Amino acid sequence: MTHIRIRQIEEKVMRGVMLVATLIVLGAVISILGTILIRGCKALSWDMVSKFPGKEWNTAPDGGFLNAILGSLYVVIPAAVIGACISIPVVFYITMYKRRRTGVSYIIRLAFDVLYGIPPIVYGAFAFLVMVGVGMRASVLGGIMVTVLLIVPMMIRSGDEIAKTVPDEMVDAVYSLGATKWETVWVVLKHILPGMLTAFLLAVGRAIGDAAAVMFTAGFSDQPAHSLSDPTATLPLAVFNWIIMPDPFPGRAYAAALVLTILVLTLSIASRVITRRITRLNK
């Protein structure tokens, strides 16, 4: 009797503890979003997202940080496109050309997994070395280079997961019609393209929020970038730099953080909507 009693109490206590834990997690999310939203909305104005820094930028509210928003896009979008061009073939190679379980694809997968785990700051330091070596300045191109390094392992990881859903029978059926492996790629591509799009958006979201890598390579400037060899401001780095500067900069940092959050959340929601639609279609 008492034994059962204890078990029942234990059950109830644990339930309570778990509920509390979940509430703490929810609380953390609300606290973060709330802080960013409240501080950001107070500081954000239309001028800030639609204008370049003006002449009085350093002392008074004059202009906005459109240069940082554009800078982030200049760096991340080309990097994501190049990243897709590199990672889709690799996904095909390790899943189709070498069937999943061979040693070669195991080694390559392991290598990309390891690359995925390397902190962005190490990529940043390495890219800085290379850039000094070949005589490049901190520039949009430098930022793109290092962002490609970040994005490719991410996309391959998720691409690999998606490629698992391609039924072997389908591939075999295409082969049996006499198609070469290359021709089979196009059939499979149709199957995994929506999934890769999700992975693409998620990777862009991750890359756009990363400051550590572009800190060394893209530089920072109050001027909008006009070419690949100009340094550019990026949103996360702008937040990092401005939050410790005297007024009016912290307000700009909060506004930039809000813009960054909105950007990233939009990407994440878009990718989720796509995933949901695909799973519904596949059913």
273 binds other proteins (CB under 8 A): no
SS3 of 166-235: CCHHHHHHHHHCCCCHHHHHHHHHHHHHHHHHHHHHHHHHHHHCCCCCHHHHCCCCCCCCCCCCCCCCCH
Out of 1, 24, 177, 281, the only residue in the binding site for other proteins (CB under 8 A) is: 24
Choices 61-69, 135-143, 157-165, 166-174 (CB under 8 A): range interacting with other proteins: 135-143
Is residue 195 close enough to count as binding other proteins by CB under 8 A?
no
Nearest distance in Å: CB 134, other proteins: 6
Q: Which of residues 249-268 bind other proteins (CB under 8 A)?
A: 249-250, 253-254, 257, 260-261, 264-265, 267-268
Identify the residue among 149, 151, 155, 174 touching other proteins (CB under 8 A): 149
3-class DSSP state of 15: helix
Residue among 48, 69, 76, 138 that touches other proteins (CB under 8 A):
138
Give, in order, the Cα–Cα distances in Å from 42 to each of 5, 148, 256.
54, 35, 12
In the range 39-78, which residues lie near other proteins by CB under 8 A?
A: 39, 55, 58-60, 77-78
Site for other proteins contains 236 (CB under 8 A): yes
Q: Which residue has the tokens 């509920």?
A: 19
1 contributes a contact to other proteins by CB under 8 A: no
Instruction: Evaluate the omega torsion of the peptide bond into residue 248 and state whether it is cis, within 30 degrees of 0.
Output: yes
Q: Supply the DSSP symbol for 63.
A: B
For the chain, the residue count is: 283
Binding residue (CB under 8 A) for other proteins from 2, 46, 177, 244: 244
Q: CB of 283: closest distance to other proteins in angstroms?
A: 19
Which of 243, 270, 274, 278 touches other proteins by CB under 8 A?
243
DSSP assignment letter at 58:
T
Tell me which stretch binds other proteins (CB under 8 A): 62-70, 169-177, 231-239, 274-282: 231-239
Task: Provide the token pair at 230.
Answer: 């100009």
Q: Which of 41, 130, 170, 173 binds other proteins (CB under 8 A)?
A: 130
Compute the least distance from the CB of residue 41 to other proteins, in Å.
14
Q: What is the phi/psi pair of residue 65, to 5°? A: -110, 40
Our finding on whether 186 is near other proteins (CB under 8 A) is: yes
Q: Is residue 135 part of the contact set for other proteins (CB under 8 A)?
A: yes
Q: How far is the CB of 170 from other proteins (least distance, A)?
A: 17
For 18, counting Cβ atoms within 10 Å of its Cβ (0-12 exposed, 13-18 middle, 19+ buried), the class is exposed
| Buried residues in 47-83 as b, exposed as e (16+ CB within 10 A) | ebbebebeeebeeebebbbbbbbbbbebbbebbbebb
Residue 239 token pair = 């937040």
Give the interface segment with other proteins, choosing from 43-51, 90-98, 162-170, 274-282 (CB under 8 A).
90-98
Rounded least distance, CB 168 to other proteins, Å: 18
